[in-house]
Amino acid sequence: MEKAEGRTAGEPGQTESSLCLRIRPMSLADLPTVLEIEKECFPAPWSERIFRDVLDLDYYHFLTAILDGEVAGYCGYIRSFETADIANIAVRGSLRRSGIGEKLLRKLMDDGYRAGVERFSLEVRASNAPAIALYEKLGYRQEGLRRGYYENPREDALILWTPERSDT
Ligand SMILES: CC(C)(COP(=O)(O)OP(=O)(O)OC[C@H]1O[C@@H](n2cnc3c(N)ncnc32)[C@H](O)[C@@H]1OP(=O)(O)O)[C@@H](O)C(=O)NCCC(=O)NCCS
């Protein structure tokens, strides 16, 4: 268990030190809250069916962040041989900027590296400054652009990659 640094205490009697963040594999029981956060974050949210399907497939790996017993965020990748694509990452709006997204992504990448992934890639909306800043902090760099990749609103996708492991 680790504390979500920087989050302020909420309920009366609740202190910073009592706010505990745990990151563990996503389970079916997480899905109701995961779907809420998914709808809050994305114009084309994944359905429950998609999450149920990916949780059954061993080339997907999904993690959930639990803060004080509640789902606070999640992320996951799809693996193809020595590379893995970050499929999604999201943190509940009210809990952002407290280190949860970074901890999730670091743990996800650590798991991947341990399982033999050599490089991670992802697509991100060109205007998504918070996500781009997070990815760059963790070493991702732009290597490509897909014009008009996203809809609602239509927007380009930046294609980011981590360096080759030998470069790090
Ligand atoms: C992207 C997202 C997951 C980040 O989660 P978070 O928990 O708020 O991020 P963290 O608090 O862990 O921040 C880690 C780093 O990310 C960057 N960052 C995060 N939010 C930022 C913001 N609003 N502005 C600038 N940089 C930001 C910073 O580099 C930060 O490091 P710092 O605290 O040392 O400055 C969150 O904003 C989110 O859920 N967005 C909606 C869903 C989404 O767009 N997902 C990405 C799809 S590609």
pLDDT, residue 136, reads: 98
Catalytic residues: 123, 135
pLDDT, residue 19, reads: 62
Q: Rounded to whole angstroms, how far apart are CA atoms 111 and 113?
A: 6
More confident residue, 19 or 27: 27
State the pLDDT confidence band at 1, using cuts at 50, 70 and 90: very low
pTM as predicted = 0.90
Going by alpha carbons, the residue nearest to atom 18 of ligand 1 is 130
- pLDDT digits over 138-147, tens only? 999 999 999 9
Residue type, 162: T
Going by alpha carbons, the residue nearest to atom 9 of ligand 1 is 101
Strands 83-91, 119-125: pairing kind: parallel
Q: Name, in order, each residue with C-beta under 8 angstroms of 126's C-beta and a sequence gap of 6 or more.
A: 145, 155, 156, 157, 158
Residues with CB under 6 A from ligand 1: 41, 89-91, 96-102, 124, 128-131, 133-134, 137
Tell me what percent of the residues of the chain surpass a pLDDT of 70: 87
DSSP reduced 3-state for 115: coil
- pLDDT digits over 58-77, tens only? 999 999 999 999 999 999 99
Going by alpha carbons, the residue nearest to atom 23 of ligand 1 is 130
- pLDDT digits over 20-48, tens only? 999 999 999 999 999 999 999 999 999 99
pLDDT, residue 84, reads: 98
User: What are the backbone angles phi and psi of residue 123, rounded to the nearest 5°?
Assistant: -115, 145
- pLDDT digits over 97-141, tens only? 999 999 999 999 999 999 999 999 999 999 999 999 999 999 999
Q: From the CA of 91, give the closest atom in ligand 1.
A: 39
Section 145-154 average pLDDT: 96
C-alpha distance from residue 52 to each of 30, 32, 36 (Å): 11, 11, 15
pLDDT, residue 11, reads: 43
Q: What is the largest CA-CA distance in the chain?
A: 50
